[in-house]
Amino acid sequence: DTEVTQTPKHLVMGMTNKKSLKCEQHMGHRAMYWYKQKAKKPPELMFVYSYEKLSINESVPSRFSPECPNSSLLNLHLHALQPEDSALYLCASSQSGDRNNEKLFFGSGTQLSVL
Amino acid sequence: GQQLNQSPQSMFIQEGEDVSMNCTSSSIFNTWLWYKQDPGEGPVLLIALYKAGELTSNGRLTAQFGITRKDSFLNISASIPSDVGIYFCAGHTGANSKLTFGKGITLSVRP
């Protein structure tokens, strides 16, 4: 099973709303990632959790707040977003995140629209 | 920083044709990954390469890790309509390096 599950599939929110994106994997992977992807562009790394600890924050604005409740779950809390934050948000996982040759497995993403 | 170059941005082929796309860099990579992405979906891993010169197949797809470690190639044989999508190369350059993505090639297949 190489599945990473993301919910919701689509999300529309206003600039004053608070919402959360959820991600789950049952592959026993210990590293989980959030990426942001604009149309026809490659994914851009936002956050990396390794062994449930935040290991990389790519200078992401504080209106995005990640959380890793356990090794299988990853959340992204959203608050006071801007229209330019509209994008496909991808979750990914890999075996440990400690090595430089790992394969990342992606979820199908949440298409976020900020009005 | 490391950059991966994929060109052209778009490719148009006839169903049944073979197509080859490459990914190049001025930096040495230790791992090459090839992903395919359909509209509104996440990237799906097609092939992973770990050694210079390595040639790996996955059905009609074949990918190679370049001898110089600065490039990789993906070949699709006997294309079919469901091969349509964006193909991204990605790679790691060294210890604790983040995954670098190319800009992707959009493949269209004419029936």
pLDDT in tens, A15-24: 999 999 999 9
A79: distance to nearest CA of chain B, Å?
Answer: 23
- In the A/B pair of chains, how many CB contacts fall below 8 A? 60
**Contact: A106, B43; criterion CB under 8 Å:** yes
Q: What band does A102 get if pLDDT is binned at 50, 70 and 90?
A: confident
pLDDT above 70 (res B1): no
Dump pLDDT digits (tens) for B34-80. 999 999 899 999 999 999 999 999 999 999 999 999 999 999 999 99
> Does the N-terminal peptide bond of residue A43 adopt cis geometry, omega within 30 degrees of 0?
no
Average pLDDT for B4-30: 95
pLDDT above 70 (res A2): no
Q: What is the pLDDT of residue B98?
A: 84
Dump pLDDT digits (tens) for A45-58. 999 999 999 999 99
A55: distance to nearest CA of chain B, Å?
Answer: 11
The radius of gyration of chain A from alpha carbons, rounded to an integer in Å, stands at: 13
- Which residues are CB-neighbours of A61 under 8 A, at least 6 positions away? none
pLDDT above 90 (res A7): yes
pLDDT above 80 (res A71): yes
B7: distance to nearest CA of chain A, Å?
Answer: 14
Average pLDDT for B8-28: 96
Cα(B101)–Cα(A65) distance, integer angstroms: 24
- Asked if residue A21 lies in contact with residue A110, where contact means CB atoms within 8 angstroms, the answer is yes
Structure tokens at A91: 């979750």
Instruction: Characterize the bridge pairing of strands B31-37 and B85-92.
Output: antiparallel
Ranges of beta strands (E only) in A1-115 are 4-7, 10-13, 18-25, 31-37, 44-50, 53-57, 64-70, 73-79, 87-94, 105-106, 110-114
- Asked if residue A114 lies in contact with residue A61, where contact means CB atoms within 8 angstroms, the answer is no
Structure tokens at B98: 């983040």
A100 in reach of chain B (CB within 8 A): yes
Integer angstrom CA distances of residue B77 from A107, A114, B13, B38, B83: 27, 41, 11, 19, 10
pLDDT above 80 (res B2): no
Dump pLDDT digits (tens) for B24-47. 999 999 999 999 999 989 999 999
Cα(A17)–Cα(A27) distance, integer angstroms: 33
pLDDT above 90 (res A101): no
Q: What is the pLDDT of residue B96?
A: 67
Q: What band does A99 get if pLDDT is binned at 50, 70 and 90?
A: low
Q: How many residues can be counted in chain B?
A: 111
B48 closest CB neighbour out of A90, A98, A103: A103
Neighboring chain A residues of B56 at a CB cutoff of 8 Å: none
B41 closest CB neighbour out of A2, A102, A109: A109
Neighboring chain B residues of A48 at a CB cutoff of 8 Å: 98
Please identify which residue in the block is written with the tokens 């470690």: B69
Neighboring chain A residues of B106 at a CB cutoff of 8 Å: 40
Q: How many residues can be counted in chain A?
A: 115
Q: What is the pLDDT of residue B97?
A: 72
Name the more confident of B32 and A2. Answer: B32
Chain B stretch 33-62, residues whose beta carbon is closer than 8 A to a beta carbon of chain A = 33, 35, 40-45, 48, 50
